Amino acid sequence: MSKTLYIVLGFALVWLAAWVIAGYFMREAGLEKLALSEHLSSPAMLLEPGADVRVEGTIVDAPAAAAAFSGERCLAAVTYISAFKDYRDSRNKPATESSHVATLRVGPENIEIAVGDKRIRLPLERWAPKYDAPQYMPTLPPHLGVTEEQIAIAKGRLQHGFSGFSVSEGTIDAGTHVFVAGRLENGDGPLRLGADRVLDRIELYQGTQEDFVEELSGSGGGLSIAGWILGAGLGPLPLAVIGLVLLVMRRRRSAAALFGQAN
C-alpha cells in the first residue's frame, strides 16, 4: 500500500475507535436509565420508618415565599448561581467551564407531601428541583445577597478566566401532584425522606409515576439505539469506504490487465 493509503487507514482506525468508545458510553448511559425506570416502576407504598417509598402524593399548603431571583410567589424555591467562562479547547471547539457560587433556598423547613391520610416530609435542604433554563448576566443583582467573598472563591476555581454568571431557579407550589422516590428515615416522630438507595438522591417529580417512568425509559431506549448506531454504524464507515475504493481500484487494474493481454 502507498504511504497516503496508510495515513488514510490510520485516520479511519482512529475514527473507528473514537465512535466505538462514544457509542459504548452512550449505550451504557441508556441502559442505566432503563434500569432506573424499571426500579422506579415497582411500587413501594409502605409508609413506615426505614421503608423505601415510591408513591404519588400532593404538596401540602404552607405560607407562600418569594423565589430569590425571579420573585415568583411559590411554596418553595431553590436558586443555583454559578460563575462561568466560555473558551475554546485544545481542539479549538467551544467549551464552557463553570464554578458554583451559591445555592439559595426559600420556603418552609420541610416540604410536606400528603399520601392518603399520611404526611411525609422532604427537608428543604435535601430538595434538588428541576431547574428552569439558566439566565446569563455579567453581574449579579444585589438583591440575591451574594457576597464578594463567595464570588472571589468561585472565580478563583475557574482555570480559563471569567465570562459572567448564570442563574437557574426551580420552584414548586402547594397542591402540585408529585411522584416521590426515597427512603424514610428510621426513628420516631414525623416521617422524613432520605435518599433512595438506587438513585442516591430523593426524587420529587412534578407529575405521575407513570409519566416519570415513561420519560426515563424513552430517553434510555433512545440512548441505547443511538449508541449502537454510533459504534456499529458510523464507526466502521471510513473503513467500509476505503474497502470499497480498494475493491474498485483492484477491479480496474484487473480489467486493464485483461485488456492489455487481449491486445
Return the amino acid letter for 142. P
**Tell me, what's the pLDDT at 22?**
59
d(CA 81, CA 104): 8
Q: How would residue 93 be classed by pLDDT, with cut points 50, 70 and 90?
A: confident
Give dist(CA 46, CA 140) in Å, integer.
Answer: 45
257 vs 131: which has the higher pLDDT: 131
pLDDT at 187: 85
DSSP output for 211-250: HHHHHHHHHHHHHHHHHHIIIIIITTHHHHHHHHHHHHHH
Beta bridge partners of 81: 102, 167
Query: Which has more confidence, 205 or 243?
Result: 205
Look at residue 146 in the predicted model and tell me its pLDDT: 97
Please compute the mean of the pLDDT values over residues 106-120 and round it to a whole number.
95
Summarize pLDDT for 167-189 with one digit per residue, the tens: 999 999 999 999 999 999 998 88
For the chain, how big is the Rg over CA atoms in Å? Answer: 28
CB contact at 8 A, 29 and 37: no
Q: For residue 54, what pLDDT band results from cuts at 50, 70 and 90?
A: very high
10 pLDDT band (50/70/90 cuts)? low
The yes-or-no verdict on residue 121 having pLDDT over 90 is yes
**pTM, entire model:** 0.70
pLDDT recorded at residue 218: 57
Q: What is the pLDDT of residues 205-220, one digit of tens each?
A: 999 988 888 877 655 4
> Between 244 and 81, whose confidence is greater?
81
Predicted local confidence at residue 115, as pLDDT: 95
Question: SS3 for 118?
Answer: strand
**So where are the chain's domains?**
44-210
Percent of the chain with pLDDT over 90: 56
Q: What is the spatial distance between Cα 169 and Cα 156, in angstroms, rounded to a whole number?
A: 24
Residue range 127-135: mean pLDDT, rounded:
94
User: What confidence score (pLDDT) does residue 212 get?
Assistant: 84
Q: Comparing 16-25, 138-147, 161-170, which segment has the lowest mean pLDDT?
A: 16-25
- Average of per-residue pLDDT across 246-263: 54
Cell numbers representing residue 60 in the block: 401540602
